[in-house]
Amino acid sequence: MIPQIFKIGPLPINSFGLMVALAFFAGIYVLGRSFSRNGISADLAEKYVISAAFSGLLGARIWFVLIYHNELNSSLFKALISDAGFVFYGGFLIGLLTLGIMTFIDKISITSFLDSIGPTLALGYAIGRVGCQLSGDGDYGRVTSGVWGMSYSQGVVPTPPGVLVIPTPVYESILSLAIFFILYRVETNRTFKKPLSYFGLYLVLMSVERFLIEFIRIEDRYIYNLSEAQFIAIGLFLAGIALVSRSFTPVKS
């Protein structure tokens, strides 16, 4: 693990923060291109990426603290400002709500906006999970004896010395990068003709990735031995299927 890359005087440069910065600049570039393809000014990309970064990270941290507060052994305030993990759905929902309000203020078509953000979200998530892997912030999976197991004993949220766990951030980063390339190719080729189909495809791919990865993560289980994130993934998958299927429905004459 490399939680801290280096120091500039007394200022530590953490690996997770460095990956967030990389995701930020990559997101501006990708979102700008997507905006242009969907009739939105590319100049707005920076504004929306900044807003998404702050609101998304805040939402992801709040959700993480609410779920894992008892395991962090610290006050609520200390948990919020610590280097410990993030929960994707918290960032996704809070970030999406924030950006939705911004599109209303800026008088941007919400359907065009949503159809633009899939590739950026997937790429940002892929880069962010690299940060999780480098910092060892607690997003790893179950204990394993397999050759693919890794130790996070030097991480921000360390595993016990000698204990190997499944490196789920690595898997998620690879899968999210694949989702990015699929979405970017589909968007570039203008495969779909009806609004919200591109956003629907993002929901389908992202929810499948999340649903599957949860089986090897350390999470509380509920009905049918599924986690909270898996139930959310099922809902988002069904919503995505409904949106994508519209592009394959014949238009009535």
In Å, how far are 119, 188, 196 from 204, measured between CA atoms? 13, 18, 12
User: Can you tell me the distance from the alpha carbon of 140 to that of 216, in angstroms, rounded to the nearest whole number?
Assistant: 9
What is the structure's pLDDT at 191? 85
List, as one string, the DSSP characters of 113-163.
HHHHHHHHHHHHHHHHHHHHHHHT-S--B-B--STT-B--TTSSSPPPTT-
Q: Say how far apart CA 174 and CA 51 lie, in whole Å.
A: 26
Q: Is 19 helix (H, G, I), strand (E, B) or coil?
A: helix
Domain ranges of the chain: 4-183
pLDDT at 80: 47
pLDDT (0 to 100) of residue 143: 93
- Position 119 scores a pLDDT of 97
HSE toward the beta carbon, residue 133, CA cutoff 13 A: 18
Q: So what's the pLDDT on residue 112?
A: 96
Q: What is the DSSP letter of 165?
A: B
Q: What is the pTM of this model?
A: 0.85
Give the orientation angle of helix 88-106 with respect to helix 45-72, to 10 degrees: 150
pLDDT of the residue at 208: 98
Tokens in use for 109? Answer: 């078509």
**What is the dihedral sign for C-alpha 206, 219, 167, 5?**
positive
145-156 residues labelled b (16+ CB within 10 A) or e (exposed):
eeeebbbbeebb
Q: Which secondary-structure segment (H or E) carries 13?
A: strand 11-14
Residue 87: the pLDDT is 67
In which residue ranges of the chain is pLDDT below 50?
A: 77, 79-81, 253
Question: Do 88 and 125 touch, CB atoms closer than 8 A?
Answer: yes
Residue 65 tokens read as 């603290």
DSSP string, 202-241: HHHHHHHHHHHHGGGB-----GGG--HHHHHHHHHHHHHH
Q: What is the pLDDT of residue 63?
A: 73
Which residue has 């609101």 as its token pair?
A: 55
Instruction: Give me the pLDDT at residue 69, please.
Output: 56
40 three-class SS = coil
Cα distances (Å, whole numbers) of residue 137 to 11, 53, 92, 100, 128: 20, 18, 19, 29, 12
Res 81: pLDDT: 47
> Cβ distance 95 to 56 under 8 Å?
yes
